[in-house]
Chains A and B, each alone.
Chain A
Amino acid sequence: MMKRKKFVPYYYIIPGLLMVLFFVYIPVISNFVYSFFRLSSYSAGKVFVGFDNYIKLFTSDIFPIMIKNNTMYAVISLIVQVGFGTIIALLLESKLTGRLRNVYRNIYFLPALISLTAVGLLFTFVYSPQVGLLNSLIRSVGLENLTQSWLGDSKIAIYCIIAMSQWQFTGYITLLMVVAIQNIPKDYLEAAAIDGAGPIKRAIHIMIPLVKEQLLVCSIITIIGAFKLFTEVYSTTSGGPGNSSQVLGVFLYQNAFLHDKMGLAAATGVLIFVVTVTISIIQIIVTKSGKV
C-alpha cells in the first residue's frame, strides 16, 4: 500500500514534465542542432556546415556593433532603471510623498503596462524629425539648431531607443523595490531613528542593505532583458540606419525570416541562450549566498 502510494505524486507531475519537455527543452536542443546546419524556413533539405554559422556570426562586421548596443542597453538600464528606480522607491516610501504616495506609484508604473509595440510606435512619432513632439518642443523653446533626426541618425539612434525603454521600465523596477522596502521590519528603522540616524543615513545603512537581494534580482532581470532585446528596436528602427542600432534579437529575427538563414539565426539564439543562462546561474549562486 505504502509502496504504491510512493509513486502516485510522480504521476501528477508527468503532464507538467511533458509540457516543459515539449515546449522548452526540445526546442532548445533542436535550436542547438539547427545552428550547425544551413537551412531556410521553407526549404526541405538542410546542409551540415559545422561551426560555419558561429564563425560567420563572430566575424561579421555587425557583431561588435550588436554586442556594444546590447551592453550599452544593459549598462544604461542598470544605472537608470535600477539606480534611479531604487532612489524613486526610497523617496516614495519616505515621508516626503505623504498621502499622494499611491498616485505617484501608479503614475510611475503606468508606462510598464503599455504594450511594447505600442510604445515603439508612440516613440516613432515622438522622435519624428519634422512633426515629432521632441523636435517641436526643442523648436518652441528656440533651440532650432539642437533638433536632430533622432532615429535617423546613426550615432544616436540606439540611445533614443534605450531612452524609450528607461521611460517605460523605470517604474516597474520602482514598484518591485517599493514592495521590498515595505517588507523591511519597522523596528529596524525605528531603532535607527532613535539612535539619531536621519532619513538619508537610514536609507543608506538600513534600507539598502536589507533590500540587497531584491536589488540583485532586479539587476539580473534588467541585464537578461537587455540581451533579449527585440521589440523596442524592431518597432522603431529595425536596426537602422545602416546597422547602427542592430541588436542580437533583431539580427536573429531578420536572418531567420528575411534572409533565409535559419542556421545563423539559430546560432545567434544559442549565443543569447548562453549569455542569459550564465547570468541566471550567477543569480542563483548569488541569491543563495546572499541570505541574511
Chain B
Amino acid sequence: MTKKIGRSLLGLLLIIVMIFMTACSTPNNNDVPDGEVTNGEANDGEDNDGQVEEKKVIKLFHRFPDEPFNSFIEETVAQYEADHPDIDIVISSAQNQPYKEKIKVVVGSNECPDVFFSWSGEFSERFLREGLIMNLTDAFNNDSEWKNSLLEAQVNEYRKGDVLYGIPFRLDAKMMFYNIDIFNENNLEVPDTWDEFIEVCEALKAKDITPIAYGNKNQWPSSHYIGSINQMLVNNEIRLKDLDPATGEFTDPNYVKALEYYQQLIPYFNEAVNGIPHDMARNNFAQGKAGMFFAELVEIPYLADENPDMNYGMFGFPLIEGEGDPTLLTGSPEGFVISSKTKYPEESIEFLKYFTGPEVGKKEVQQVGWFNAGVGIVDGLNDQKLLEAYEVIKNAKTMAGWFDASLYSTIANEYLTAVSDLTNGDITPEDAMKKIQKAAKEAQETYQSGANE
C-alpha cells in the first residue's frame, strides 16, 4: 500500500518537474516576449500544417497601449495584413517606463521583436553599438521613393553619423503652452526673452495665479527644462561633445548657469512640484488653474480630451542670451527600428515603410492627432492647433533631442536626481554639477574600457 502511494507520489512529482521543464524550455516563435496584449491570430500560421501556406510572422512591439493610439495601431496593422496575406503581424505593447526595461531584456535574446519602438539618440545607439538593430542606410538611400516621401530633417534624427537605424513614427517638440484667456484678462503679451518671461510670471503671481503648471514626480519633465536652457547657454559643439559618453565632461561653467536659470523659475511653479506627476500638472493647466505649461506637441490630443473648450496658444522657450544655439528645437521624433536578428529583413523593412509612411501618417493625424514624418500628411486637416504645431516641427532645421534620452543612462539618472533635489532646494547648482561631472567621468571610463573589449 505504502509502495503504491510512494509510486503515485513519484509520478506526480515527475509530472510537476515536466511541467516546470517545458515551461522553461525555449518557447516557439509565436510567443510574445512578455505576457502583454497580443492579438489572437498569432498562432494561425503554424497550426494549419499543409493547408495554408505558412505565414511570415513579424513581431511588433510598441509603447502606446493607451486608447485611442492602441486601436489606431491595431487597425493600421490589420489593414496591412489584409493587403499582404502572407504576413502575420503579432502586436504587443507596454507603457513607457516598463517598455524601457522590457525592451532591454528582450533585445539581446532570440525573442527580440522584429520591429520595435525605440527612442532616437543614445537609447537606440547603445543597441547599435552591440549590433542588435539593423542598419537601414542602404535600403533607404537606394529607394528614392521612400526617401522622398519623408521629411529629411526628422529622419536625420535617427542617424548616428551616416548610419540610419530607425524611422520616425510620431514627431514631437516641446513648446510653452499658455492660456490665452488668462493672458488677455491680465493684459499680458507673449514673452520672447527670458526677462519678459519672468515679468509675465511675476505679473501672474501678483494676481495669485499659478504662473507655470509643472509636475516632476517622474523626474523626466525637468530634463526638458534643463535641456532647453542648456541649448541656449552652452556652445553647441561642447554640448554635443558632452552628450557623447566617450567625451562627456560637463565642466563648462554654463551648465551651472543653466541650473541657476532653472532655479529662478522655482518660485513660479505650482507647489509640490516633486509630488505631482506630469499629467496631473497638464490637467491643472487644462482646467485653467495655471497660466502656462511646458508641454509636448503630442499632448495636444490629451488637452483636447481634458478640456475641449480650452483657449490656448503656444510659444517657443524664452530666449536666453548665451553661447548656445537658440534655433535648436527641443524634442525629437520617436520611431521604430528593426532587429538585426529578424528572420524576414525585407518584409520588416516593407512593413516599416508602410507603418511610418505618408499614407498611415494622414490617418494618424486625423484619428489620433499625431504626425509622422510623411510628406503632405496635413493636407485637408482643419484643426488649427495641430496645423500650428506641425509648422513648428516642419520648419525646424535641427532638433536638439530629449535631454534625458540623449544622455548616457547613468549621467541622465544623476542629472534627473540632482534637478529633483534642486527643485526641492536640497542642493546647490555647483554641487549638482559636481555630481554630474563625477557620473560623466565614470561613464567615460566604463565606455572606454567597454570599447576596448
Contacts and interface: CB of A to CB of B under 8 A. Distances in A.
B254 interface: no
A259 B123 CA distance: 11
A237 B416 CA distance: 14
Interface of B is mostly: helix
Contacts of B20: 19
Given A42-B108, A45-B453, A260-B104, A129 B272 contact: yes
A259 B107 contact: no
Contacts of A102: none
Contacts of A153: 272, 274-275, 424
Given A12-B13, A42-B107, A130-B284, A241 B274 contact: yes
A238 B417 CA distance: 11
Contacts of B100: 257-258
Interface string A121-140: 00000011110000000000
Interface string A14-42: 01101100000000000000000010111
Contacts of A151: 217, 274-275
Contacts of A130: 272, 276, 280, 284
A183 interface: no
Contact of B17 (A19, A129, A152, A240): A19
Contacts of A7: none
Interface in A60-109: 61
B413 A258 contact: yes
Contacts of B420: 240-242
A263 to B, nearest CB: 10
Contacts of B446: 38
Contacts of B427: 242
Nearest to A152: B275
A257 B14 contact: no
A47 interface: yes
B30 interface: no
Contacts of B275: 127-129, 149-153
A214 interface: no
Nearest to B453: A45
Interface string A224-250: 000000000000011011111000000
A152 B10 contact: no
Interface string B264-304: 00000001111110001000100000000000000000000
Given A38-B446, A241-B423, A128 B17 contact: no
B417 A243 contact: yes
Contacts of A260: 104, 126, 409
Contacts of A280: none
B355 to A, nearest CB: 24
B272 A15 contact: no
A130 B289 CA distance: 12
A133 to B, nearest CB: 14
A242 B169 CA distance: 32
Contacts of B17: 15, 18-19
Interface string B95-113: 0000011001101100000
Nearest to B15: A15
Given A149-B272, A154-B424, A154-B426, A41 B104 contact: yes
B365 to A, nearest CB: 32
A152 B74 CA distance: 38
B130 interface: yes
B387 interface: no
A257 B127 contact: no
Contact of B274 (A19, A152, A257): A152
Contacts of B273: 149, 152
Nearest to B452: A47
Nearest to B419: A242
B274 A240 contact: yes
A41 B446 CA distance: 16
A153 B417 CA distance: 13
Contacts of B272: 129-130, 148-149, 152-153
A143 interface: no
A7 B418 CA distance: 63
B435 interface: yes
Nearest to B112: A42
A147 to B, nearest CB: 9
B274 A259 contact: no
Interface string B202-232: 0000000000000011110000000000000
A61 B435 contact: yes
Contacts of A261: 410
Interface string A247-279: 000000010011111000000000000000000
Contact of B127 (A42, A238, A240, A244): A42
Contacts of A259: 409-410, 413
Interface string B433-453: 001000000000010011001
Given A42-B132, A47-B450, A241-B423, A258 B13 contact: no
Nearest to A11: B10
Given A15-B13, A19-B20, A242-B420, A257 B105 contact: yes
A242 B418 contact: yes
Contacts of A258: 100-101, 409, 413
Contact of B219 (A42, A127, A154, A240): A240
Contact of A128 (B9, B276, B418): B276
Contacts of B6: 8, 12
Interface in B73-93: none
Contacts of A115: none
A93 to B, nearest CB: 39
A287 B280 CA distance: 51
Contact of A44 (B105, B130, B426): B130
A243 B6 CA distance: 55
B326 to A, nearest CB: 30
B409 A15 contact: no
A45 B219 CA distance: 32
12 contacts: A15-B14, A42-B127, A42-B130, A42-B132, A128-B280, A130-B284, A149-B271, A149-B276, A150-B275, A154-B424, A241-B423, A242-B417
Given A240-B274, A242-B417, 9 more contacts: A15-B16, A15-B17, A18-B17, A129-B272, A129-B276, A151-B275, A154-B421, A242-B426, A243-B421
